[in-house]
Amino acid sequence: MKNDIGFFEKFKFTEPDIDTMPLDYNSQYIKNYINTIFHLHHFFELYMKFTLEELGINFKNDNMPQIRKKIKINSNARFSSSIDDIEKLNNLRNNLVHNGKDFLRYESLDMLMGRKILPLLISIFSEDKRLNNNIRLSKFNQSSLNLNIFKEIAKETKNNRNYSPRKVAFLKEMARASYQNPLNSPWNKFYNYDKQALLKVKEIKGDHSYKIYICPVCDLESLVGSKEQDFEEGEYHITYISEMKCYCCSFELTSHISEPQKMGYNVPLYWDI
């Protein structure tokens, strides 16, 4: 567990009581959860400080209730109507640092991010011209699927009854891989990441042990699944693919997600071999 936490080891951390948590709340979930809460908290902390100083709010002279009141009445602060959501994020971060036992469940984290935090980030990055030059939300738009991933997650989590954790998991993985997509990097013109990936795929093309698809993130024919076989009494019975990975952008899918095509996305049936 300690190695999994990595950077956050320096903070006090107590493993949650596994008797009361579902089995799939593994160390990877906890690591991702901590990263999510800490990085977003840090972003809002810096952004609010920067904005409040511009609005003339004095941190040395004003106490917290006064600062809160000034934020609420100042419509120029883009987060003025979301101050309760940011405070929730702050509490979650403090619970991790000072106590280390409180975690949001998987679905609750999806809801907080999809309903509150992502819409606020979309609003900040699309309206605040000070950030436009440095950070581009367009990285998270999938032109081949005609998809704005952040808005799609916000739409999916809007209604409890229609919410599909699998669909949101697919979208989150799309967002992660989009951020890492080396084809968006200025270094691609020197290193030709696309050609390198296609060369690797060429080595296995024609080998019936693999299935190769066009990746929904980088649009290269570099999403590869390896066929596996179950056998009984020495005879092979079922051939299947349980996971696939893109040799270019690192996009990964497992069959637990089920078929994204059946969720309404214009992609092949990945597990149909």
Binding positions for Zn ion, rule: CB under 5 A: 215, 217-218, 246, 248-249, 251
CB of 273 vs Zn ion, minimal distance in Å: 20
Q: How far is CA 165 from CA 83, 111, 157, in A?
A: 27, 10, 9
In the DSSP assignment, the letter for residue 115 is I
Q: Report whether 260 contacts 270 (CB < 8 A).
A: yes
Smaller CB distance to Zn ion: residue 77 or 248? 248
Find how far residue 96's CA is from the centre of its chain: 20
How many CB atoms sit inside 10 A of residue 118's CB? 21
CB of 214 vs Zn ion, minimal distance in Å: 9
Cβ-in-10-Å burial (0-12, 13-18, 19+) of 219 comes to: middle
Smaller CB distance to Zn ion: residue 124 or 220? 220
Query: What CA–CA distance (Å, rounded) separates 104 from 48?
Result: 24
Smaller CB distance to Zn ion: residue 217 or 253? 217
CB of 116 vs Zn ion, minimal distance in Å: 30
CB of 225 vs Zn ion, minimal distance in Å: 13
CB of 144 vs Zn ion, minimal distance in Å: 11
Smaller CB distance to Zn ion: residue 104 or 145? 145
Smaller CB distance to Zn ion: residue 120 or 174? 174
Q: Which of 31, 38, 37 is nearest to 16 (CA)?
A: 31
What does the CA dihedral 110, 263, 266, 107 come to, rounded to 10 degrees?
10
